[in-house]
Amino acid sequence: MNPLQVSVVVPMYNEEENLPELHTRLTRAMSKTGLPVEIVYVDDGSSDDTGEQLNTLLRQPQPVCVRVVQLPYRRGKTAALSAGFSVARGNIVVTTDADMQEPPEVLPMLVAQVQSGAAHLVVAWRQQRQDSPLRVWASRLFNAVLRWLTGVPLHDVNCGTKAMTREVAERLQPWMVSDMHRYLPLIASRMGYRVTEAPVPHVCRRRGRSRFGASRYLRAAVDLLPFSLWWWRGWLVWWSLAGSSLWLTAAGRPVGWLGLILAGAWAGGALLFWLKHGRR
């Protein structure tokens, strides 16, 4: 029997409307690779019939191996991906979202790039985004900041569709805390792995709705604070904030105290983060 080659990890929350089409398209697309494949569905504590549908899939014969991880309550995308990574058995690990806004048919192309050795991790770059203008603008700003901060020339770091070697997945798993899933390509690059991007089409969500509200922007900013100190430009921003705040405080400007509090919180958060996770 051939060793299992590809694991497709799909985190989902309340995706009962999308699951039948998603599964059909995933199995059809991945079967064309000619490689042994497993699909790992991670139910992130869904409150609809997603769990029942997944159990039904397990009871039926399938053209590819299907495995299901059911979390007892909603823990978020990072935790769902981590749970999927922990049971994935493939030499190549693929992630994609259940909304199919990045068509499942692009996954074999990402797998081929990793299999060829062209990259250790390939992240999809969504073309002609079919999201609201606010989300598109926020994404472009976010990615521009990350390119300036890290020097890694990626345009769509937060895209949920990726392919990577098993080694990269194992090295990344200890960093999958809070909402750090959006920074995984940059962490892999910082570790010394080759990270590239591949343009893919982007389509409108046809069923269901996005579960990510405005709070995700706050979580992204909070996670960015300790993460940014992995690069010298992050330290430059921190020292600029601390220095200007000290000057304003000495000049009797009350706003200087606010800057010092922010700089202290930044440094304290970074210290706690690295003490907890940096040793892994």
The answer to whether residues 233 and 94 belong to one domain is no
In a domain, 224, yes or no: no
In a domain, 238, yes or no: yes
Exposed, middle or buried, 46 (CB in 10 Å: 0-12/13-18/19+)? buried
Give the domain-ending residue among 213, 245, 264: 213
The answer to whether residues 72 and 191 belong to one domain is yes
Q: What angle do CA 15, 18, 20 make, to 5 degrees?
A: 115
The answer to whether residues 163 and 36 belong to one domain is yes
In a domain, 149, yes or no: yes
pLDDT at 104: 96
Q: Is the per-residue pLDDT at 219 higher than 80?
A: no
pLDDT at 105: 96
CB neighbour list of residue 256: distance below 8 Å, 6 or more residues apart: 244, 245, 246, 247, 248, 249, 250
Structural contact between residues 95 and 161, judged by C-beta atoms closer than 8 angstroms = yes
19-31 and 50-59 helices cross at what angle (nearest 10)? Answer: 40
In a domain, 233, yes or no: yes
DSSP bridge pairs for 92: 6, 165
The answer to whether residues 110 and 205 belong to one domain is yes
The answer to whether residues 244 and 123 belong to one domain is no
Structural domain for 261, as ranges = 229-277
Closest to 157 (Cα-Cα) out of 144, 169, 166, 174: 144
The answer to whether residues 49 and 15 belong to one domain is yes
Structure-token pair, residue 244 = 């200007």
Q: What is the pLDDT of residues 81-130, one digit of tens each?
A: 999 999 999 999 999 999 999 999 999 999 999 999 999 999 999 998 88
The answer to whether residues 143 and 37 belong to one domain is yes
In a domain, 16, yes or no: yes
CATH number at residue 13: 3.90.550.10
The answer to whether residues 67 and 26 belong to one domain is yes
Weakest mean pLDDT among 203-207, 211-215, 238-242: 211-215
Structure-token pair, residue 95 = 């992630």
The answer to whether residues 88 and 190 belong to one domain is yes
In angstroms, the Cα distances linking 95 to 74, 85, 123, 198 are 19, 9, 10, 14
The answer to whether residues 112 and 143 belong to one domain is yes
In a domain, 221, yes or no: no
Higher pLDDT, 215 or 206: 206
In a domain, 187, yes or no: yes
Confidence of residue 3 (pLDDT cuts 50, 70, 90): low
Q: What is the pLDDT of residues 72-90, one digit of tens each?
A: 999 999 999 999 999 999 9
Give the domain-ending residue among 159, 184, 213: 213
The answer to whether residues 142 and 198 belong to one domain is yes
Closest to 83 (Cα-Cα) out of 169, 186, 24: 169
In angstroms, the CA 135 to CA 170 distance is 31
The answer to whether residues 130 and 256 belong to one domain is no
In angstroms, the CA 255 to CA 242 distance is 12
Find the DSSP H helices in 214-254.
215-228, 232-250
- Using DSSP's 3-state secondary structure scheme, residue 157 falls into coil
- Structural domains of the chain, count: 2
In a domain, 222, yes or no: no
Structure-token pair, residue 163 = 């392919």
pLDDT at 209: 63
